[in-house]
Amino acid sequence: MAIAKRYLIPYFEGSVLANELDGILAETFSFDIPCTPIDVPSGSAELLELFHGPTAAFKDVGAGFLAACISRLNKTGHDTQALLTILVATSGDTGGAVAAAFDGRPGVRVVVLYPDGRVSERQAHQLTCWSDNVQSLAVQGSFDDCQRLVKAAMADVSLSSQHRFSSANSINIGRLLPQSIYYADASLRHFRETGRKPGFIIPTGNLGNAFACILAREAGLPIGEIVLVTNANTLIGEYLQGTEWLPRVGIQTLASAMDVGNPSNMERLRSLKGEGPALNQVVRVFSATDQDIENEIKNMFTDFGLTICPHTATAAHAYHQLSDEERANEDWILVATAHPAKFESIVEPLIGASIPLPKGLSDIMSKPSRFTRIEPDLNSLKTQLDLIPVTGDK
């Protein structure tokens, strides 16, 4: 917590929230973020477990922090009585984390858009089981359709004058900032213990989590190499090899929370650190196929007794793509982005064992689910937005 505060104070200077930082951090970091050593034959490797929050994915950190900030701002910063509408497009985990973080908070409603049929069953439940201030929309399309709809709604002059919109997607700096903290914390702890800067291997979709790591390194934290891993959506890797940046439609993979055809934080990275191959100075990129993901889930279980989710498996794949020297001579922290129990239908058959449900997830699974299907067009979204009165009492 001391590290978190030290890291964030400059960002809060002059803000109405400057004096609220302790409370915000206490709400955000209310669960453990342990680093588990992996018993590798040479060198050092650890698993940074970001999945012990309420919805069992790393996004609980960013969403929790954002909700803690926004609910305070909503109380103090505005004289308007209008309900704040948080629009969130999700490939599976963001929506659940944001909904959980804002669940039941007065003065705020959350509208979650997710691609129907393209999230795991447990994720779908997590997107649809909340209080009345959360509206869950099953979009008949892809994640990119959901993201496009959110952007279109916000850009629509009449809609945005009618509603007070905010976004909770990973472009929101309120999510990126707190995500830097676990990199700050893990790297400092490692550096103090060993005198070496660890490299991080980060499963990547919209590039939010990886960007947070880059931010932490820019801030001077002892972070070595930053390795990104995508699934079969390989746009970032190709761009760093010199291909033009041409966003595409996301391909469905086993690591579905990373099925992003147009990674939204790339614009930020390009404007901060340069275009195309210049970015090879900043990060390295690997990619994992579904076959690689399956192999890693099996091998990490048999070789190290670790059960990992399909996203985390991409990090394991990248680790195994490093040269023997790199694995032996540098220390690596593999980022575990979700609990494997969220993706049990993929993981359990591969390891031949059942995965116990963590308490938070089993609580969520016992709640009733409620959602509305919509077509992937702005009019359908507009109809849903109008269903709830635009003024709420706070």
Ligand X SMILES: *Cc1c(COP(=O)(O)O)cnc(C)c1O
Minimum CB separation from ligand X for residue 82, in Å? 30
Show the site string, 167-186: x = touches ligand X by CB under 6 A, - = not: ---x----------------
Structure tokens of 132? 């009345």
**Binding to ligand X, residues 310-329 (CB under 6 A):** 311
- In sequence order, which residues have a C-beta less than 8 Å from that of residue 23 and are 6 or more positions away? 68, 72
**Binding to ligand X, residues 127-166 (CB under 6 A):** none
Q: Which stretch binds ligand X (CB under 6 A): 19-27, 154-162, 206-214, 246-254?
A: 206-214
Q: Which stretch binds ligand X (CB under 6 A): 192-200, 205-213, 360-368, 370-378?
A: 205-213
Using rule CB under 6 A, residue 66 touches ligand X: no
Please say which residue, 4 or 269, places its beta carbon nearer to ligand X: 269
Using rule CB under 6 A, residue 347 touches ligand X: no
Please pick, from the candidates 59, 122, 284, 317, the single residue that binds ligand X as defined by CB under 6 A: 59
Backbone φ/ψ region at 34: left (φ over 0), alpha (ψ -120 to 50), beta: beta
**Binding to ligand X, residues 283-312 (CB under 6 A):** 311
Please pick, from the candidates 55, 74, 206, 234, the single residue that binds ligand X as defined by CB under 6 A: 206
Please say which residue, 107 or 205, places its beta carbon nearer to ligand X: 205
Please say which residue, 21 or 99, places its beta carbon nearer to ligand X: 99
Confirm if 109 and 64 have CB atoms less than 8 A apart.
no
Please pick, from the candidates 178, 198, 205, 250, the single residue that binds ligand X as defined by CB under 6 A: 205
Please pick, from the candidates 153, 258, 293, 300, the single residue that binds ligand X as defined by CB under 6 A: 258
Q: Residues touching ligand X: how many (CB under 6 A)?
A: 17
Please pick, from the candidates 128, 209, 233, 234, the single residue that binds ligand X as defined by CB under 6 A: 209
Minimum CB separation from ligand X for residue 335, in Å? 8
Question: Which residues sit at the interface with ligand X, rule CB under 6 A?
Answer: 57, 59, 93, 170, 203-210, 257-258, 311, 337-338
